[in-house]
Amino acid sequence: MTIPKQLRYTHDHEWIRVEGSTGWIGITDHAQSELGDIVYVDIPAGLERIEQGKPFGTIEAVKTVADLYAPCSGKVLEVNPLVTSSPEIINRDCYGDGWIIKVALENPAELDGLMDAVAYRRHIGLPPSE
C-alpha cells in the first residue's frame, strides 16, 4: 500500500498534492483497492467551485458508488480528462495520472486539518511506517 509522505489526506480517503496555490485531488491507494475496478467518474459539468468536506462528484466501481469529498475549498481549474475517458487509470496510478480535479486553493489554512501520511496510515489501520 502506497501512502506518499508529501500529500495530505482526508478521513474519506481523498488526497491533495499542493504546489504553490494549486492543489491536485484524487483518491488514495487504499480507497481504490477497497472500491475494486473503477468504471466511471462523475464530476458535474460546469463545476466551478468545491467546498471543503462537501461532495464534488462520485466514483463508480463494479461493486459500489462512492461520493468524492473535497479536502479543501477552491476554484476548479480542471477535471482530469483521462479519468473521465479511462477511469481505470485510478486503479493503476491513483497518485499520478489518476488525479481527479485540479483547484486553486481559497484558504490554504484548511489543509492544516488534514492528515499527514503517518496519521493516515494509522487511520486505515497500518503501522506508522513500512
Closest CA to 111 of 19, 43, 1, 3: 19
Arithmetic mean of pLDDT over the chain: 95
Supply the pLDDT for residue 11.
95
Quick one: pLDDT band at residue 93, thresholds 50, 70, 90?
A: very high
- Mean pLDDT for 91-97 is 96
Set of cell numbers at residue 8? 495530505
Report the predicted TM-score, pTM, of the whole model to 2 decimal places.
0.94
Measured torsion, CA atoms of residues 52, 54, 12, 92, in degrees rounded to the nearest 10? -90
Domains of the chain: 8-122 (2.40.50.100)
Residues 56 and 50 sit within 8 Å (Cβ to Cβ): yes
| Model confidence at 82: pLDDT above 70 | yes
| Model confidence at 130: pLDDT above 80 | no
Quick one: pLDDT band at residue 1, thresholds 50, 70, 90?
A: confident
- Mean pLDDT for 59-71 is 95
| Model confidence at 23: pLDDT above 60 | yes
- Mean pLDDT for 95-103 is 97
- Mean pLDDT for 11-31 is 97
Closest CA to 28 of 130, 107, 114: 114
